[in-house]
Structure 1
Amino acid sequence: MPIPTGRSGVDRSLLRDDVYRRLRDAIVDGTFEPGEQLRDGDLAEWLGVSRTPVREALLRLGASGLVVAVPGRSTAVSTIDPRVVRDARDVIASMHGLAVRETAGKLSVEDVGRMREANHRFAEALRADDLAAALDADDEFHMIPVTALGNRALEAVLEQFGPLVRRAELVRFTLDGRASVERHEQLIGLLSVGDVHGAESVTFDIWHSLPADEPVDE
């Protein structure tokens, strides 16, 4: 869809990380569609910032695979390539598998409670057909073990490739949302009792349930 008209109400003191997050989320939630051109001047005007943080954000988005730059032309939102999503999904699944393997039986009561609360909000968002809220709640749910682990290298990998996978999650939540809620509850129980192998297995199933296996032209 075209860039929304008018200013978005973002303060001019917006940090470059905030610009990156705004553009990333607009791509993930479909505000900017695959193939749509993104001109830094238009984006800067929309966000009420200079072109510099926008250009930096587009470079970061390029590294994540969410946008592609054509020399001498404007940047465009990348198409959803099943092979690329599949590769990113496998990396993300491995990182989350590591996080639950290292935190099973070690999460605080508060962490487990926040996972349950996030999953409750996830379920409520699905019932309300609010996929954006569902994605946010799902992301919060899975990041609790990651944050508890405190592995910065792991977090950096998720930051880079996570948004690419989140676009595919929109399809999964539309088709298979209830199953995701149930898998989340199962994971919480396994983490609580310290079942390392069970938690890792459920995490594998969660991430490999993404619809990323459609045939790809060779």
Structure 2
Amino acid sequence: MPVPALAAATLPRQLLRDDVYQRLRAAIVDGTLEPDEVVRDQDLTAWLGVSRTPVREALLRLQQAGLVTATPGRSTRVASLDARATRDAQAVVAAVHEVAVRAAVAQLTADDLAAMADANRRFSRALRHGDAEAALAADDELHGIPVRAAGNAAVRDVLEQYTPVLRRVERLRFGSLDARGSVRLHDQLIAACTARDPEAAARASTLTWQTLVPLLDRATGGTL
């Protein structure tokens, strides 16, 4: 694995395992670590400035999330963009967000709704500028607000595992104007939440995640 040019600083001891996992996950999602690339413990420890133990623990979590594959006694590789895995992840993420939105509608405050609207404005602006990273950050913030308001730990855990599988593909779309329809769907979601209409909010949420299906098919080489 070619070690990225910018070495990470030594990570806080108490957050070491989670930080190593999050850094490696981000490197896979943003393409720093490419599909099918071999990843070696010694390269990762040099890059992150940590011991092998948190790196190995992170790789195990990444394997469980479907982001790396490991062959016993051989190599660990970044997982390819597998059609079935991405479609399965899309179905799970869409369903879980629907659950979260239904529960969140009655809990969202005026500040929450304003924050969702602001995130969507930043999302739209990032799309216009072809800034995939800013678009992903704004999209994460927008959808994260109802997830937090729902207060369901199981929802958060499931999304933590499966959303990164989709984000690898979404970066391709969020770097262009192809995702402009999501701005409109976000507006519909915010409007339904403002009206305290859980059914309409759930429909808008589901439609938002369903827009990924054609993109997943193109990115993974075909439909299932």
TM-score, normalising length from structure 2?
Answer: 0.91
Q: What is the SS of the residue equivalent to 2:107?
A: coil
1:163-183: CA deviation from partner (whole Å, max 9, x where unpaired): 101112123323522111121
- 1:60 and 2:64 correspond: no
**Pairing partner for 2:204 from 183, 202, 205:** 202
The alpha carbon displacement at 1:137 in A equals 1.3
**Conservation of the 8 A alpha-carbon contact between 1:12 and 1:49:** no
1:92-141: CA deviation from partner (whole Å, max 9, x where unpaired): 00000011111224310111111112112212222222211211111111
1:152-193: CA deviation from partner (whole Å, max 9, x where unpaired): 011110011111011121233235221111211111011110
Q: Which residue of 2 aligns with 1:29?
A: 30
**Conservation of the 8 A alpha-carbon contact between 1:105 and 1:193:** no
Give the aligned residue type for 2:180: R
The alpha carbon displacement at 1:76 in A equals 0.5
**Pairing partner for 2:186 from 177, 184, 187:** 184
**Conservation of the 8 A alpha-carbon contact between 2:65 and 2:161:** yes
Instruction: Flag structure 1 segments of 5+ consecutive residues without an equivalent.
Output: none
- Hey, what's the Cα distance between the residues in 1 that align with 2:76 and 2:56? 10
Percent identity, aligned pairs only? 52
**Conservation of the 8 A alpha-carbon contact between 1:93 and 1:204:** yes
User: Quick check: 6-15 or 169-178, which moved more?
Assistant: 6-15
**Pairing partner for 1:193 from 181, 188, 195:** 195
Q: Which residue of 1 aligns with 2:18?
A: 17
Q: Which residue of 1 aligns with 2:166?
A: 165
- Hey, what's the Cα distance between the residues in 2 that align with 1:133 and 1:194? 29
**Conservation of the 8 A alpha-carbon contact between 2:11 and 2:19:** no
- Hey, what's the Cα distance between the residues in 2 that align with 1:188 and 1:94? 18
- Hey, what's the Cα distance between the residues in 1 that align with 2:180 and 2:24? 29
Instruction: Flag structure 2 segments of 5+ consecutive residues without an equivalent.
Output: none
Give the aligned residue type for 1:206: T
What does 1:102-113 align with in structure 2 at a 5 Å threshold? Answer: 102-113=103-114
Q: Which residue of 2 aligns with 1:128?
A: 129
The alpha carbon displacement at 1:12 in A equals 6.1
Q: What is the SS of the residue equivalent to 2:7?
A: coil
TM-score, normalising length from structure 1?
Answer: 0.93
Give the aligned residue type for 2:71: V
User: Quick check: 165-174 or 197-206, which moved more?
Assistant: 165-174
Q: Which residue of 1 aligns with 2:147?
A: 146
Structure 1 runs, 4 residues or longer, greater than 6 Å off: none
The count of corresponding residues between Structure 1 and Structure 2 is 217
Give the aligned residue type for 2:204: V
- Hey, what's the Cα distance between the residues in 2 that align with 1:175 and 1:52? 42
- Hey, what's the Cα distance between the residues in 2 that align with 1:3 and 1:194? 49
Give the aligned residue type for 1:85: T
Q: Which residue of 2 aligns with 1:72?
A: 73
- Hey, what's the Cα distance between the residues in 1 that align with 2:6 and 2:185? 42
- Hey, what's the Cα distance between the residues in 2 that align with 1:70 and 1:88? 23
- 1:137 and 2:141 correspond: no
Q: Which residue of 2 aligns with 1:98?
A: 99
